[in-house]
Amino acid sequence: MVSANGTSNGGRLNWMIAVAALALWGAGCAHVEKADVRKGEACLADGGRSDYRIVISAKAPPSTHHAAQELQTYLKRITGARLPIVTDTEPERAREILVGRSSRFDSLGVAMDWFALGKEGYVLRTVGERLVIAGGEPRGTLYGVYDLLEDKFGCRWFTPEIERVPQVSQLPLPRLDERKVPVFEYRETYTWESFDGNWMARNRLNGAGGRGRLLEKQNIRPPMPELDARHGGSVRFGFGFFVHTFDKIVSSNQYFAVHPEYFALRSGKRKPTQLCCTNKDVIRLCAKAIRAGMKAQPEATVFSLSQSDNKEPCECDQCAALAKAEESGMGPLLHLVNRVAEGVEKEFPDKIVETLAYQWSRQPPKTMRPRPNVVIRLADIECCFAHPLASGCQEANKKFVADLQAWAKVCNRLWIWDYTTDYAHYLLPLPNKRLIDDNIRLFAANHVAGVFEQGTYDTFDSEMVALKAYLIAKFLWNPNYEEALATREFLDAYYGAAAPVIQRYLDLIHDYAEKQPVHVGIYAKPTSAHLTPELLTQASTLWDQAEATARKDAVALDRVRRSRMSVDYVIAEQARTAMKTTDSKRNAQQRELIALARKRFATFMQTFERSKLTRIREWKDVDKADYRKTLAADLGI
CB burial of residue 408 (10 Å; 0-12, 13-18, 19+) = middle
Alpha carbon distance 74, 61 (integer Å):
20
Return d(Cα 558, Cα 560) in angstroms, integer. 5
Alpha carbon distances (Å) from 395 to 123, 328, 390, 431, 438: 44, 18, 11, 19, 18
pLDDT band of residue 220 (cuts 50, 70, 90) is low
Rounded to an integer, what distance in angstroms lies between the CA atom of residue 17 and that of residue 172? 9
Query: Contact 466/159 with Cβ under 8 angstroms?
Result: yes
283 pLDDT exceeds 90?
yes
Is there a contact between 38 and 176 (Cβ–Cβ < 8 Å)?
Answer: no
What does the DSSP assignment read for 587-599?
A: -HHHHHHHHHHHH
d(CA 257, CA 235): 37
Report angle CA 616, 619, 621 to the nearest 5 degrees: 55
pLDDT digits over 126-173, tens only? Answer: 999 999 999 999 999 999 999 999 999 999 999 999 999 999 999 999
Every domain of the chain and the residues it spans: 12-180, 506-634
Of 206-215, 231-240, 376-385, highest mean pLDDT: 376-385
Would you list the DSSP string of 4-45? TTS-B-TTHHHHHGGGTT-----SSEEE-PPPP--TT--EEE
Coil, helix or strand for 297? coil
Mean pLDDT computed over 368-385: 98
Amino acid at residue number 413 = R
CA distance 20 to 467: 26
Question: pTM here?
Answer: 0.93
The predicted-structure confidence for 503-558, as pLDDT tens digits, reads as follows 999 999 999 999 999 999 999 999 999 999 999 999 999 999 999 999 999 999 99
The top-level CATH class assigned to 12-180 is: alpha beta
- Cβ pair 510, 431 in contact under 8 A: yes
pLDDT in tens, 398-448: 999 999 999 999 999 999 999 999 999 999 999 999 999 999 999 999 999
DSSP per-residue codes, 344-396: HTTT-TT-EEEEEE-GGG-SPPSS----TTEEEEEE-TTS-SSS-GGG--SHH
pLDDT at 8: 33
Structure confidence by residue, pLDDT tens digits, 450-504: 999 999 999 999 999 999 999 999 999 999 999 999 999 999 999 999 999 999 9
Q: Over range 98-116, report the average pLDDT.
A: 92
Q: Give the span between the Cα atoms of 87 and 202, in whole angstroms.
A: 24
What's the pLDDT band for 217 if we cut at 50, 70, 90? low
pLDDT band, residue 258 (cuts 50/70/90): very high
Whole-angstrom Cα distance, residue 323 to residue 331? Answer: 5
Q: What sign for the dihedral angle of Cα 475, 525, 361, 404? A: positive
pLDDT of residue 107: 86
* 564-610 residue pLDDT tens: 999 999 999 999 999 999 989 999 999 999 999 999 999 999 999 99
